[in-house]
Chain A
């Protein structure tokens, strides 16, 4: 009986690690999925690049293959359009789950180059598209109000966030 329970402990350990991660990232809601495929068939990304398949990602999380997802590049194809989440008949916050996974992957340093470059621009300029005086001249011509060319508040936000990550 003792060796039996020892075996259980070893096997349980493997399962627990994935479970822990699921719980820490609050992904338990993936369990509700009953495979209706509404998320995938509603996904505009799957149309263009079938490597991104929301249902497949939910299943991978369910099977405890979270690390595989975190190491993947397809995770980053999600555009956060929320079509899947809006339509899920089991009310699974699919797009939120994708964001959580992306955040975790970013922390692990798994974000693709493009995402990191964009991140740097936001950090520096406070925007994904940095503005300069030329842009403001064009805006003035169109009768639009001037916008600040730097956004220091965002910088501060990032600094405090980076602090907390350390």
Chain B
């Protein structure tokens, strides 16, 4: 727990010019330190940000703590170590553009190059190009292409055509125009005479001889083969995740996404969040984005930080787990299972500490604690969380033979909303449901499911968010696995596992909620040929 003195400074971690821009935006909010993992060129900066400290180049060796008191350990080039405390961290690593020449089995020379090399040595490459020459750009085929890189190609192709008069061809898989003004730039390039060729069935062939290189392809729209011997051949680069991404994400305890790009594959991470409160990711490290979008993210993260600073001044409201130190056996299950890394271990402290700022109230720690040493305190926010156990004791059902009785554990972020929506729409449920609001599917313990089942209901449904749209990162998937285990256990005990349903439903999907419940109800009644309700005469099901 914090000692009341919260640190409001921000650490920006970057590897190139972009992190300076981000630091500049943040500097208007709070004191900013910048750790650049590589030597970056400062002279490109229009305006040097007002920094408390610039560490460049620097190695980030250690990281611990919670929002308001993150501790970072650095090693500088002279070998000296430094330890600092920060309130927040912004990861502003940039992705890299890597040449694709080796994927095409060609070697770079004066006629063959990559887009980034062309960008760097444009005069050298174009110096010898004149009217009657041919220049070919190749985009895609061996890698994903993005509007950012295609914008460069379009502009280069137009410039080559206009300034040198060379016949210019752009061979591409898709024309990615999803960026402001790009469709227009694309047309202007065509009107200048740049020939764009699109491929969907075939791919161009590149042959490099000692004297000339040839590009052979099928113009699918024309239905004819084309053979070009270009004087200059340029390949689009591949967008690769920042090389430091994996190390930094491991160190900071933030989830990594697809192909090693930053930001885990979870809906609620969008646009700039991570699984940890107070740690943000911005810029192309998450995947190639345009400069304007990157700028927007820098401003958005400045807003997030300003907001968090404001929230420090307020009292923490809402559900907050507390740990009973007398029960805690220091097994660290909670520490390992918290999706938001809100639980810390401090030297000298008897038990793990839960950060009120970082905790998002999912209750996964409550579920995972083998000693039941963690419990929720009811907060003042609009959503209150039930003690599931007590709630189950209160489930009282009237005797009804018409429809099955179902206890529904509904995640407050999804299924519970869907249930309320269905109710307000007047949708008909073919079951008598008792709906228990839970903070997350991950909060529902196996024991609670079994207890609910033992309370006299015909079935228990556990409805959560879809995996990867779970606000608690792995809450829904933990829940799914747990329910599968409960079912397996029940089968082994000779009890029909069909009385338990695990389902996923979105908050706005009232029809899906109704469909799930009604199908479950049908199953319980033996609508699918196997009644498991004692005394139900629907279809020769086995009565127990």
Chain A residue with minimal CB distance to B167?
A15
**Residue B191 CB within 8 A of the other chain:** yes
| Chain B interface size, under 10 / 10 to 19 / 20 to 34 / 35 or more | 20 to 34
Q: Which A residues are within 8 Å of any B CB, using their own CB?
A: 4-5, 7-15, 28, 31-35, 37, 53, 55-56, 59-60, 62-63, 90
Does the CB pair B223–A31 fall under 8 Å? no
A52–B175 Cα distance when bound, in Å, is 26
Does the CB pair B187–A90 fall under 8 Å? yes
Chain B residue with minimal CB distance to A30?
B190
Q: Contact check: which of A13, A32, A63 meets B222 at CB < 8 Å?
A: A63
Does the CB pair B221–A9 fall under 8 Å? no
How far is the CB of B227 from the nearest CB of chain A, in Å? 11
Does the CB pair B222–A34 fall under 8 Å? no
Known: A8-B131, A11-B132. A56 touches B223 (CB 8 A): yes
Does the CB pair A34–B186 fall under 8 Å? yes
A100–B462 Cα distance when bound, in Å, is 70
Known: A5-B130, A8-B131. A35 touches B165 (CB 8 A): no
Residues of B within 8 A of A13 (CB): 132
Residues of B within 8 A of A62 (CB): 195
A143–B528 Cα distance when bound, in Å, is 75
Residues of A within 8 A of B224 (CB): 56, 60
Residues of A within 8 A of B190 (CB): 31-34
Q: Contact check: which of A12, A32, A56 meets B132 at CB < 8 Å?
A: A12
A13–B196 Cα distance when bound, in Å, is 22
Q: Which B residues are within 8 Å of any A CB, using their own CB?
A: 128, 130-133, 165, 167, 175, 186-187, 190-191, 193, 195-196, 198, 219, 221-224, 226
Does the CB pair A31–B191 fall under 8 Å? yes
Q: Contact check: which of A31, A32, A37 meets B221 at CB < 8 Å?
A: A37
Known: A15-B167, A34-B190. A7 touches B132 (CB 8 A): yes
Residues of A within 8 A of B219 (CB): 59, 63
A11–B167 Cα distance when bound, in Å, is 10
Residues of B within 8 A of A90 (CB): 187
Does the CB pair A8–B191 fall under 8 Å? no
Residues of B within 8 A of A55 (CB): 221-222
A15–B223 Cα distance when bound, in Å, is 21
Chain B residue with minimal CB distance to A62?
B195
Task: Given A33-B190, A34-B187, A34-B196, output 5 extra A-B contacts at Cβ < 8 Å.
Answer: A9-B131, A12-B131, A34-B190, A55-B221, A59-B221
Chain B residue with minimal CB distance to A60?
B222
A10–B131 Cα distance when bound, in Å, is 10
Residues of A within 8 A of B186 (CB): 34
